[in-house]
Structures are given as C-alpha cells and as structure tokens.
C-alpha cells in the first residue's frame, strides 16, 4: 500500500559510537495533503541516548534526522503533581478519573463524584516541543517514548514522525496527557506510529490551524485498563478541531476504541480525507462530525463497530455510496466503504468533493485494506 521510493538520509560518522550503524531512511513518501514534506532532509543522523538529549535535538533550530534506537522513559523526570478530580463516568476500577485541569470538573461535571486527591506523573501533561525541519525515526521496534508525547505548535512546519511507539501517558486519568499534538503548524507527516495507554487523545489537532497533515499507517491501540466507558476501550482516540486544516488519514488501524475515532470539526473548517482505514472492533462510535467538518470517507473497513458515525452530524459527510460522483472532482471513481457486523455509515454531501481535488491520496479496494492494514500499520512493520 505504501510507495517503494525512499528518501535516503545520512548517518553520523564523526563520533566513534556511530561506527557500524546501518543507513537510516524514511520509508516511502507522504500521500495526500502533506505530500511535499521533507522533514530533516539529508541532515546527518543523530542518535540521542538520554531524555535530555532527545528533548534538545527535537527542540533546537537545526534541521535534524533524529533516530531512536532505545526506549526514552520520561516517567518521573518532572516529578509528580497532586490535585483534585472527579469521576463522571463511574467509580468502578475500570473507569478513568478526570483531573480537574483548568477547573474542568468544576465547570462541566459539577454533579460528578469528587476525587479529593490524585497524584499523576507531571511529565505526561504536555508533550515534548518539536521544532521545524525534523525527521524522527525509530529503528525496528526500539524507538519508544514512554510517559510523554510530542507537541508541534506555534508555527512550526515540515516534520516527519515515523516508526516510533508513544505509550503510557497517565492512562488512568483524563487530562493526563496526549500522545501527539499538532496546534498551529503545517506540513506534518505521522506515519507507522503506534500509540497506546494514553490518558487523553492519541492524536489531537488543536484549535489553531494545523495546515496540511498526513496521518498514515498508524496503529491507534485503545486497549486499556481504564476508560471513560469503563469497558477497556479508550474513548479519546483522535480529535481534529482546528481551523482550515487539511488532513489525509490513510491506512490506519484504529481498534478497541469507544468514541472520537476521530471527532472532526466544531471550531473551524476541517477537510478530512479518510481513506483505506481499518476501524474496529469498537464498543461505541468512530466518526463524530461537527459544524465546519467536511469529511470524504472512502474505501474504509468497519468491522465490529456499532456506530461508524454518531447520528448528530452537523458537518458534511460523503461516504462514496455513489462511487462515480468523485470522477469529475478527483479524476477517479471513489471506493465504497465496507461494513462488517457494524452500524450504518452514509453521507451524500457530494458538494464537498471540490475541497479534495489537490494532492488527493489514492484509494485501494476494501479487500486489500482487510488483508493488509491490521498487520502492516504501526511500529516495526517497515
């Protein structure tokens, strides 16, 4: 499903500890809206060995190729925080607790049972700052960031994140932290990343413009011991609520979730091309489509999803039931979605297709999606 072209990157050779390392390369190229991303380009690769060194490389003003060949464990690096919270979804052991961040419990859940004292890891609350012109690559399955996410904000651009695993960010607690945040950025490619055991969002595009973003071949693993639905399926999967965002979401495996997988719209205009993703199993809904959302969904597989989309659609959705409607706008027919042991998924807003006539990703058959995506998405498969 992915391109066989490679962007070859240099390998550091000046330092003695770099000798003997194999060449490192970005695999494939971004499809869709972020197709022109180059990341760190041909910069000499660096291999951080400590959390401090990783933070420094990610945040400096040099173009970089940063290779992760070990686990970087941020738990405990910033101490712990103790605050109050609440239990809006129940008090059972399988239910997440909400931290009263920015008085969220006080303002939005005033009737929920109060939790007087919560102690959580402070490092997880805000992700590592990633500056412009960076490529972040994992070697095999070794590139792991534990206890802290990545954050691209405040005008940064041209960033590639590929083949890493972000995990264990205060999973018991809502508002405990996000895995990957994009908020006021452009040209971001997130590819072959696995996210698991996250307190809040696995991938979030914030209220500021996130520009052109491609999210491809990732595994959103919602299996957890604590969830807002108290059933082992994570509710807060993906949240795309920016302003004038253009998002390509292709070839992702989104499983064991119960909601917001993804939530689109609500703040500004967001065009989302969701193509060839594999959704399921789920205990709730995947798409939540709010005002300002324009969603073209084609060639996706829903397997064991009770509600592929929430009923209260206030944005616009086209699900390619009429596959010929795409021909004039996209230059090819659309691919219908596949629903297996799942609820209905249908939207006829074909007028939005003009929003997807530039850099549109290719669409493959749903049989190809079923046979390849669950095994090829995520870390360690390239």
C-beta atoms surrounding 45 within 10 Å: 22
Tally: H helices and E strands in the chain: 4, 31
Q: Which residues pair with 21 in a beta bridge?
A: none
Confirm if 306 and 285 have CB atoms less than 8 A apart: yes
Burial of 381 (0-12, 13-18, 19+ CB in 10 A): middle
CA torsion through residues 144, 149, 154, 157, sign: positive
Give CA–CA dist 37/185, Å, rounded: 12
Q: Residue 316: exposed, middle, or buried by beta-carbon count in 10 A (0-12, 13-18, 19+)?
A: buried
- Residues tagged active-site: 260
Which tokens is 336 given?
């219908």
Q: Report strand pairing: 338-340 vs 301-303.
A: parallel
Taking the mean position of all CA atoms in its chain, how far away is CA 380?
17
Does 262 sit behind a cis peptide bond, omega within 30 degrees of 0 on the bond before it?
yes
Contact 95, 226 (CB under 8 A): yes
Q: Which helix (H) or strand (E) holds 366?
A: helix 366-376
Q: Is 335 helix (H, G, I), strand (E, B) or coil?
A: coil
Q: How far is CA 275 from the centre of its chain?
A: 15
């Amino acid at each position: 499903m992915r391109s066989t072209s490679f962007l070859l990157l240099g390998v550091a050779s000046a330092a003695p500890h770099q000798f003997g390392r194999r060449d490192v390369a970005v695999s494939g190229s971004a499809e869709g809206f972020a197709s022109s991303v180059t990341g760190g380009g041909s910069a000499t690769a660096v291999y951080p060995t400590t959390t401090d060194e990783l933070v420094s490389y990610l945040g400096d003003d040099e173009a970089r190729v940063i290779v992760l060949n070990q686990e970087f464990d941020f738990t405990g690096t910033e101490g712990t925080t103790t605050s109050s919270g609440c239990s809006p979804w129940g008090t059972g052991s399988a239910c997440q607790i909400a931290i009263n961040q920015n008085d969220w419990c006080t303002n939005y859940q005033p009737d929920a049972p109060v939790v007087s004292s919560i102690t959580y890891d402070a490092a997880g609350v805000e992700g590592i700052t990633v500056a412009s012109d960076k490529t972040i690559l994992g070697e095999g399955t070794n590139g792991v960031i534990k206890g802290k996410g990545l954050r691209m904000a405040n005008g940064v651009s041209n960033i590639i994140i590929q083949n890493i695993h972000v995990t264990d960010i205060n999973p018991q607690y809502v508002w405990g932290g996000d895995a990957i945040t994009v908020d006021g950025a452009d040209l971001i490619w997130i590819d072959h990343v696995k996210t698991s055991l996250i307190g809040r969002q696995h991938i979030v595009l914030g209220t500021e413009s996130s520009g052109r973003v491609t999210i491809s071949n990732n595994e959103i693993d919602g299996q957890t011991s604590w969830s807002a639905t108290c059933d082992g399926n994570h509710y807060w999967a993906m949240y795309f609520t920016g302003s004038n965002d253009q998002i390509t979401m292709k070839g992702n495996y989104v499983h064991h979730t119960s909601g917001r997988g993804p939530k689109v719209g609500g703040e500004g205009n967001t065009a989302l091309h969701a193509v060839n993703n594999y959704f399921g199993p789920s205990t709730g809904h995947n798409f939540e489509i709010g005002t300002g959302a324009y969603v073209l969904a084609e060639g996706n597989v829903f397997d064991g999803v009770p509600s592929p989309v929430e009923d209260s659609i206030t944005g616009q959705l086209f699900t390619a039931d009429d596959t010929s409607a795409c021909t004039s706008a996209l230059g090819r027919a659309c691919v219908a979605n596949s629903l297996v042991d799942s609820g209905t998924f249908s939207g006829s807003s074909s007028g939005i297709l003009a929003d997807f006539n530039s850099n549109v990703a290719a669409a493959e058959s749903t049989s190809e999606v079923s046979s390849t995506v669950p095994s090829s998405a995520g870390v360690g498969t390239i």
